[in-house]
A and B are shown apart, each in its own frame.
Chain A
């Protein structure tokens, strides 16, 4: 394995990071929207969101990305490997994020909303000033844990031709007939990436229990 090969794996790392980042950035607000829809208890919309979440949580990412990549062009939406991959990651992570946000919303004390109403805050302002800051703090560890899960499923996007860390490593292994060294380089990139997120999540959880303890 040459230096150029290691470089190729690192350029795969850039792809992995960019796609996972895009999935996270799009999935976070989408998940929040879904959670708010389920929280608001509007007939039909709530049920639709619940079915969406249940279905997406049960769908393996590989099946989802194959579905999007092959079926979307059929109905006239052109997608490439990268856009299909990002879309699949977004849909997948939004379902899991929704559950994290929803758990925080369920735990939000009702008197907070009532107090906000009593001082005449409108719906949008209540959401922005009262609800969001509180649920964001509570949800953060869960959301970060979901991000680390997301990074761990990105290698699957190779099935539609995205060249990420794992795909680059497989290619080099096939060319050099020495699959183990590139796999270990790939592993050496994933481990710190995921471990950093996991450590961040643990640190946040510890800090929050410390802050919540005296109250």
Chain B
């Protein structure tokens, strides 16, 4: 077993490039999903109408679809409609669009749970438009939604591993190729699992430091 880990160490270049790709992919997809999700949540809180219902249906459908099936539709399905994507862009697009729906829903819930009084007080003090949003609405919204957004980012990282199936060279793919080259399944995949764990612990630490900031503000 020690021998296996020695081989993984010798192949650390491949493992680290896989890790870097996972981080890059998840960060880009997470950021896109967050921004698009924020836009989507503004549609979800509209009064009932065609746009609101259409957005609701889109979000609910996404939340009932397995990620891998969605990635397959983007990667294998779109080319038959004349849209050809390489595995990187297909992976990134499917991660971003899929998690956009989840982000939109949880930001909507965070918005719905916000008390209305501070906003009215802000208006009474003469805040309006962008400055009202930036100084009054946004800070508590960021603090309360940080834990759920953090959880969703962890979900993005875990879903990015699924993209090994469309041969995207991320962490699990790197572990798989080391495994098949040297036949050391235990060492290769345990190393990958520990690296995923590390990533998630980093995100959890970030979220809890935001939580402490929220406590301090109270």
Contact = CB atoms under 8 A, between A and B. Distances in A.
Size band of the B side of the interface?
A: 35 or more
B147 interface: no
Contacts of A74: 185-186
B145 to A, nearest CB: 19
A148 B201 CA distance: 25
Nearest to B172: A63
Contact of A67 (B63, B68, B157, B190): B190
Contacts, number: 125
A213 B78 CA distance: 49
A166 B69 contact: yes
Given A152-B65, A183-B69, A191-B65, A67 B201 contact: no
A46 B186 CA distance: 26
Size band of the A side of the interface?
A: 35 or more
A64 B193 contact: yes
B64 interface: yes
Contacts of A127: none
B69 A187 contact: yes
Contact of B176 (A66, A155, A194): A66
A198 B64 contact: yes
A151 B66 CA distance: 8
The 7 A-B pairs of least Cβ separation, nearest first, read A70-B185, A60-B161, A67-B189, A58-B200, A194-B64, A155-B68, A71-B186
Interface of A: 54-55, 57-64, 66-67, 70-71, 74-75, 148, 151-156, 158-159, 165-166, 169-170, 173, 177-180, 183, 186-187, 190-191, 194-195, 198
Interface of B: 60-61, 63-69, 72-73, 76-77, 80-81, 154, 157-162, 164-165, 171-172, 175-176, 179, 185-186, 189-190, 192-193, 196-197, 199-201
